[in-house]
Chains A and B, each alone.
Chain A
């Protein structure tokens, strides 16, 4: 690259590795340079904590209808207002946090675990195994993830478990492809060769040298998938698939409030959607921050 060529003259001089910073200092510096990621992390942690702690203190039952306070605008008693059934929206949002986070982390976790192992296996094994795996991956990627998850959930049944399974299934190919690519790059890298030459058996080379280095980009992808799975799960919830009322879930809450766009009670659908936006944004920020971190470490 042109600039790189000329800047290589210069940037050699400021290579982070030669500056005498300890690894920890470099990481702190990187974190400081990534304020968004820090903010994202803060938001996610706060949401988690709130969702766990607040129900213990704030005991209004998110499922119990109270028709007499139905559709009240945000006020002191109900910070985010009440919905059609008189349920407190803030408390429902917080309860929904647990469910949506559960879905997100399960989906991302399964897809990452299965996908990276499969991808590493395919990349390392090569040959016909690799071909078959990639064929299947390409096939799965011919379906937009949401549509695939939609179809599978419908076929399996309307339960949260199936939503998780369907989404995890839909996202696994991304991890397979990513990890396989990384493994292919690293498999023939010098240090792997060196390890082999010294006498390590292939599996140990894979496990100790190749695999750890290919996991890093997968983690970055994982944080993006966290966001995607919340978007998809809430979309399914909005459509009434997989997660049904009265279970508090951000998507179903928006669906409940959707008819109110004609009558003006905007708080019934705005706040749950805002929660989705905020959380997904936070995961994306974290992902960006992780990417920057990995680049500089």
Chain B
């Protein structure tokens, strides 16, 4: 049985999106390749908000891009499946992938102003997307675009229609992006750091907008972020990534209240220690250019609880804690590894 199936035991099947054992590598020096994603598995259910959390370099963006086939051409998928509504998207050709992109799975990115063509008016860009997904006349598309702008909370939409991207504020631009993304009522919205770089108040507005739209459109959201405070407020489940692996996964309350993996504990700990009102960036300990070539656990180098098996054996993703679907990839929770090796402290940590 794949780990993926094991982990979905706690969740109703079938899921909207199921990523199974996805592995992706990029070219490195001298013809070698570096593994960026190593057997990543998780799922997103219908009308569910799943947060994909990790620091830069953990592979979260690559994962998202892989689902719609938008990685850099030099990236190669070395294994796994991406099941969307039961269909594997990975082997599809470019034209077939386009049937999903923007239509069933939409994606919005960081830096919304940069995601808009600077030479074309904002409203026109929305109208273009509308015409891509719906067979309507130009005029009708314009009207629909204005309607979309209103529905994402842009006041004075007819005037803003004629604005160029550089004339919009960051929050406004992100609303435009959301309008474009939602024009076809996708089942899944992937949001890659959608609020990073925006004002705190705007961030909350954008997020409330997304949640409201999610309810109305019966949409799922895969939220990629390193901002744990936002995750706590908005997500149903959390997937924690580090070094190309999923190190822990589970319902949001479980992750925050009982983080099991040492990495998660550090992340969550840094949020809880700070003032809740301040947006906390996870992983201040920036990962520098380490070539990941270890056989064992990739976190072993930084883990305070490292012990015998960690260097050589890749941990299995196992159920931890009480909540259903709460799994972690750590030897501390693996009964197979000699308990005698562990210190009291480690035992205390794993409970």
Residues of A within 8 A of B (CB): 3, 5-19
Contact = CB atoms under 8 A, between A and B. Distances in A.
Given A6-B72, A18-B288, 9 more contacts: A6-B61, A6-B71, A9-B61, A9-B62, A10-B36, A10-B62, A13-B36, A13-B291, A16-B29
A10 B59 CA distance: 8
Contacts of B290: 13, 18
B34 A14 contact: yes
B26 interface: yes
Contacts of B11: none
A5 B290 CA distance: 18
A10 B288 contact: no
B31 to A, nearest CB: 12
A16 B291 CA distance: 10
Contact of A12 (B62, B65, B71, B289): B289
Highest count of chain B CB atoms <10 Å: which of A7, A9, A17, A19: A9
A8 B291 contact: no
Contacts of A17: 289
Contact of B289 (A3, A6, A14): A14
A61 B56 CA distance: 70
A6 B58 CA distance: 11
B307 interface: no
Nearest to B35: A13
A213 B203 CA distance: 41
Contacts of B36: 9-10, 13
Contacts of B28: 13-14
Contacts of A5: 61, 110
11 contacts: A5-B110, A7-B26, A8-B57, A9-B59, A12-B288, A13-B28, A13-B36, A14-B29, A14-B34, A16-B29, A19-B29
A46 B225 CA distance: 58
A11 B26 CA distance: 9
A6 B62 contact: yes
Contact of B291 (A3, A6, A9, A14): A14
Contacts of A11: 26
Q: How large is the interface on B (under 10, 10 to 19, 20 to 34, 35 or more residues)?
A: 20 to 34
Q: Which 5 pairs between the two chains have the least Cβ-Cβ distance?
A: A15-B289, A18-B289, A10-B26, A14-B28, A12-B289
Nearest to A17: B289
Contacts, number: 53
Interface string B26-53: 1011000010100000000000000000
A80 to B, nearest CB: 43
Interface in B61-85: 61-62, 65, 71-72
Contacts of A18: 288-291
By secondary structure, the B interface counts as: loop
B29 A12 contact: no
B135 to A, nearest CB: 30
B39 to A, nearest CB: 17
A13 B38 CA distance: 14
Given A14-B28, A14-B289, A8 B56 contact: yes
B17 to A, nearest CB: 19
B313 interface: no
A18 B291 CA distance: 8
Contacts of B56: 8-9, 12
**Which one of A5, A6, A8, A10 has the highest number of Cβ atoms from chain B below 10 Å of its Cβ?**
A10
A13 B62 CA distance: 14
Nearest to B74: A7
Contacts of A12: 56-57, 287-289
Contacts of A10: 26, 34, 36, 57, 62
Nearest to A12: B289
Interface in B86-115: 110
Contacts of B72: 3, 6-7
Nearest to B72: A3
Contacts of B71: 6
Contacts of B34: 10, 13-14
Contacts of A16: 29
Contacts of A7: 26, 72
A130 B288 CA distance: 40
Output the residue of B61, B65, B110, B289 with the most chain A CB within 10 A.
Answer: B289
A13 B65 contact: no
Interface string B283-320: 00001111110000000000000000000000000000
A3 B57 CA distance: 14
B131 to A, nearest CB: 24
A19 B62 CA distance: 23
A273 to B, nearest CB: 41
A9 B289 contact: no
A3 B26 CA distance: 12
A9 B56 CA distance: 6
Nearest to A7: B72
A13 B289 contact: yes
A264 B72 CA distance: 55
Nearest to B111: A5
Nearest to B73: A3
A18 B57 CA distance: 15
Nearest to A20: B291
Contacts of A8: 56-57
B75 to A, nearest CB: 8
**Residue with the highest number of chain B CB atoms closer than 10 Å, among A6, A13, A17, A18:** A13
A17 B61 CA distance: 24
